[in-house]
């Protein structure tokens, strides 16, 4: 089944404890991105990647890192999480940067205390 998977789905952590949220797609898509969803703000893009070893900042990149060493994986790294990063995170992928449809993962709900 073609899909985007994220792990974990739920995570509660404390301020300053490094964490990684994994994202993997099995559709051989070139383009991947991370969004956060907050009440009243909709979805905002954090980082994106046009292909392996090609990543760039989205609209709200502060406090996050990403890497793209393999085409299928695009982990989101929070080196020192803070409470304002409590949010619902979505990974998404497109076949190419110009493709119309983005395929979203199921989401990761992160709480930072």
Partner 1 sequence: GDSVTQMEGPVTLSEEAFLTINCTYTATGYPSLFWYVQYPGEGLQLLLKATKADDKGSNKGFEATYRKETTSFHLEKGSVQVSDSAVYFCALRREWGSQGNLIFGKGTKLSVKP
| 60 counts as binding partner 1 under rule CB under 8 A | no
| 106 counts as binding partner 1 under rule CB under 8 A | yes
Asked if 97 contacts 51 with a C-beta cutoff of 8 angstroms, the reply is no
Closest to partner 1 by CB, 44 or 72? 44
| 58 counts as binding partner 1 under rule CB under 8 A | yes
Choice from 1, 42, 62, 69 touching partner 1 (CB under 8 A): 42
| 62 counts as binding partner 1 under rule CB under 8 A | no
| Pairing outcome for strands 19-25 and 10-13 | unpaired
Asked if 106 contacts 7 with a C-beta cutoff of 8 angstroms, the reply is no
Asked if 49 contacts 70 with a C-beta cutoff of 8 angstroms, the reply is no
Instruction: Give the distance, in angstroms, between the CA of residue 16 and the centroid of all CA atoms in the same chain.
Output: 19
Q: Where does 1-113 have alpha helices with state H?
A: none
Asked if 67 contacts 56 with a C-beta cutoff of 8 angstroms, the reply is no
Choice from 44, 65, 71, 72 touching partner 1 (CB under 8 A): 44
**Using CB under 8 A, which residues numbered 79 to 98 contact partner 1?**
90, 92, 94, 96-98
Q: Which residues in this chain contact partner 1 in the complex, by CB under 8 A? A: 4, 31, 33, 40-45, 48, 50, 56, 58-59, 90, 92, 94, 96-102, 104-107
């Amino acid at each position: 089944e073609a899909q985007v998977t994220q792990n974990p789905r739920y995570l509660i952590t404390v301020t300053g404890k490094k964490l990684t949220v994994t994202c993997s797609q099995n559709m051989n898509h070139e383009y991947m991105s991370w969004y956060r969803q907050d009440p009243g703000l909709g979805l905002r893009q954090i980082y994106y990647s046009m292909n392996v070893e090609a990543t760039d900042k989205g609209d709200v990149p502060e406090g996050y890192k990403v890497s793209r060493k393999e085409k299928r994986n695009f982990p989101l790294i929070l080196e020192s999480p803070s409470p304002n990063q409590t949010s619902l995170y979505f990974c998404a992928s497109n076949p190419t940067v110009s493709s119309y449809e983005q395929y979203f993962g199921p989401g990761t709900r992160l709480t930072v205390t």
